[in-house]
Amino acid sequence: MIEPPDEILTIEEVAAYLKAGRRTVYRLAANGQIPAFKLGGTWRFRRAELDRWIAARICTKEGTPKPDEGKP
């Protein structure tokens, strides 16, 4: 099943998606190191933004240009 691009995820779902601990995801969100927003005092994440964040980190790590770099 294809997930909608604007799907909103919780910390638990992001932790499972990234295969990371809940505390790690919380710390990254609280420090502004991962795209997130608060809704009613709890962190929420857009799947599409997480995918872009992951892609940017992979490209930066491998030394390849980011997807938007080099475009006029």
For 37-65, write each residue's pLDDT tens digit: 999 999 999 999 999 999 998 877 665 55
Return the higher-pLDDT residue of 13 and 60: 13
Q: Which domains does the chain possess?
A: 8-62 (1.10.1660)
Percent of the chain with pLDDT over 90: 69
Q: What is the DSSP string of 2-56?
A: PPPTT-EE-HHHHHHHHT--HHHHHHHHHTTSS--EEETTEEEEEHHHHHHHHHH
* This prediction's pTM: 0.75
Judged on CB neighbours under 10 Å (0-12, 13-18, 19+), 31 is exposed
